[in-house]
Structure 1
Amino acid sequence: MATWQGVNEFVSVAELGSFTRAARALDLSVAQVSREVTRLEQRLHVQLLYRTTRQLTLTESGQLYLQHCRQLLDGLDEAERALSLHQAVPQGRLKLTAPVAYGESHIAPLITAFLQRYPALEIQLNLTNQVLDLVAEGYDLAIRLGHLAESSLVARRLASRRQHVCAAPAYLQRHGLPNSLSELDGHNCLLGSNDFWHLQEGGKRRLLRVKGSLRCNSGHALTHAALQGVGIVQLPDYYVARHLQRGELVELLAAYREPDEGIWALYPHKRQLSPKVRMLVDELAARLPGFVPPAALQHGLGQADVLVQETGEGMAAHTVDGGVVGQ
C-alpha cells in the first residue's frame, strides 16, 4: 500500500540540494530527514540519492520518482487551495515582513483592507530594513524590492517600480540641465547610503559614482531636499511620481534609465505555502500595480527601503533610497 511517509523529505532534499536546507524548510532535524529518506529507499528497494561528503545528486530512479512526486504534491496543493476557496474564510496567524518606507505606504494599507474582509485572520507585520531568515524566524512571507539572485525561497513578482533621476525646476535654472551621464560630474547629486546610481548606457547596466552635499537614508527626506532645489536625486516612482506629474520635479536622463525592477513576494518552498498566505499574495498581486497610497502616508518620513540579493541559504541587503546601490 502506497504511503506519503518520506516523500516530503525526499522532495525537499532533492529540490533544495542538501539535508540541512531540507531540514530547515521542514522544521525537522537533519537526522530525521535523513532517516525518512533512507526508510523511503528501503521501502522502494531502490537508491534515490548519491551521497558524498561534497555533493548530493539524484540517481536515475531518483529523478523519475521526483518527477511523479512533484505531480502528486502539486495536486495536493491544488486540493488544499480549492478547499480553502470553498471555505473562503482565511483564519489563524500570518507573519510577514516588509521594508519600512514601502511597507508603511503600500503594504500596511492593503493589509488593513484585507483584515476587514477576513476578521478571523491575525496578521503580524514587521516593518524592518534588516534581511530576516524567513524559515529560522518563522515568517510566512516577505516583501522585497529590486533584483533577486538564486535562493531556496519561492519568488513571485507582485508589481514593478521605476527609478527616476530628477530635480526641481529651480535647481535646473541655476545649474543647467545634464544631457549625458558624464555631465552629472558637475552637479550636486543627493545620495542614499552609497556613492553609486544604477543606470544604463548602450544597452548595458552601469554603476555610476556620483557625489553631492547631502547623504541620507530616507527617501522622503531626499525627495524634500530635491523639491527645495538642493540637488538631483535618483529615487523610485513611489516617492517622486506625483511630483513629476505636477511639474514640481523634472525627469532627467530618461534615455539612461534602467528597466523597471521587481517588487516581490518571497516565501519558503511552495508546499509550505498555506491557503491564507496564498490569498494574501494574490491580493497584493492584484492591487499593488495600480495602488495609490493614502495622502497621509505619501508625505510622512520613512527610512530607506532595501534591495535584497538572495545567495544560497543566506541573503545580503543593500540600502536603495536615494539611488540604487552598488555592490
Structure 2
Amino acid sequence: MVLTAAITLHHFFMENSLQKLIEDSSSILITSHISADADAVCSSLIVRSTLVANYPNKKVLVDLEEVPESLTFLPGFSTIHASPLDREVAKFQPNLIIMLDANNFDRCSRVGAEKTRRYIEANDVKVAIIDHHQPEGKDDVDLYIGNDSPATTQMAYDIFFGKLKMTKPTGYAEIALLGIMNDTNRFLYDNPNHRQTFSIISDLLDAGASIEKLEFKLNRYTKSQLVILAELISNTVVEEGMTYSYLGSKFRDKNLKDDSTAADLKVGCDLYLNNYVRNFENNSWGFIVYPDIASSSGHWGFSARSVGGSVDVSKIAHKLGGGGHISAAGAKISAKTAQEALNKAFGAIGAKSFAKITPGTNL
C-alpha cells in the first residue's frame, strides 16, 4: 500500500508539473520521431487538439519531419507541419517543446538535433518528454514521463483526460483509437496495462469510433508496397531461432528512386515485420535491414520484432544507436552496402553463428 501510494503521488507530481509547464508557456511546439507511425501522429494530434481546445490563447504547432500520407483522413492532419525540426523551432520560437513517442532529439530529426539543442539552451526553452519506449539514451530535459503503456497515444489520453481532466476536443475518439490500435498491432501484443487499454477502447467505441471503419481506411495497398513485401519475402533467411531479410542496393536503385516512395517503403516493411518475420517455422523473432531513402546515401534502417519479449530487441537496437520496446525496436545504421549493414546487425546481436552468414545475391 505504501509503494502504491508513493507511485500514485509521483505520477500526480509529474502530471501537474506538465500542466504547469503548459500554463507557463505562450507558444508550444509538439514533435515526434522521424519515420512517424500512427502512434507518433495520433499522440501529436491528440495533444495539439487538446491544448487548442483548453488553452485557446496559446500558439500550438505540431512539426514532424516526415508525415505518412496514409493518415490524411485523420481530423487535424492538415495542421501538421513537415519541416526540419531545427528550422521550425527557430521560426516558431516556442517556450515549450513536448516530445512524444521518442526520448531524444536525434530520434526526431535526421540532421538538426544538435542545432535544436543549441537553440533550446540559448533561449531557455523548456522540454517535456512523454514516451513509452525503454528510457536508454534519453535526453536530459525538464520533465520526463515514461511508463510501460503500449502506446504514447494511450499515455496522452490518460494524462490529459484521465488525470488532468481536460476537455476532449472534436475528433479525439478516432485519433486515439488509431494510435492505440497501431502500437498494439491490433491488440495482438502482450500488454501489462491491458485493463486500462480496453477500458479506454470501450470509451472510444462508445464515443463513436469504429475499429471496422478504421481498418477499411488503413488496409489499402499500392503495387509498390506489395513489390517491397514480395522482395522481403524472397530474401528471407531462416536460421535456427532467428529470421531475417533485407532490401539490397540493387532493389533500391531499381524500385526506390525518389522520396515519394518513402511512405511505400515503410508500409511494405511494416507488413513484413508485423505478419512474417516472427512467424517462420519455429522462430519467434527476427529483423530486417533496408535502405533509409529519406536520409543521405550510406544509411540503412534496422527493425526487429519478437514474440512476447522472447528476445529483448531493444537492447540490440540500442547497440546500433536506436531503441524501442522489448518486442519491437529499430535503429539507423551507417553503412555503404546492405552487406555491411547486415554485418553490423549481426555484430549487435552478438551471436557468432550468425556473423558468417552471407545472404543471397540480391544485395
Structure 2-normalised TM-score?
0.25
Larger Rg: 1
More helix by share: 2
More strand by share: 1
Q: Which is bigger in relative contact order (C-alpha 8 A, separation at least 6)?
A: 1
Structure 1-normalised TM-score?
0.27
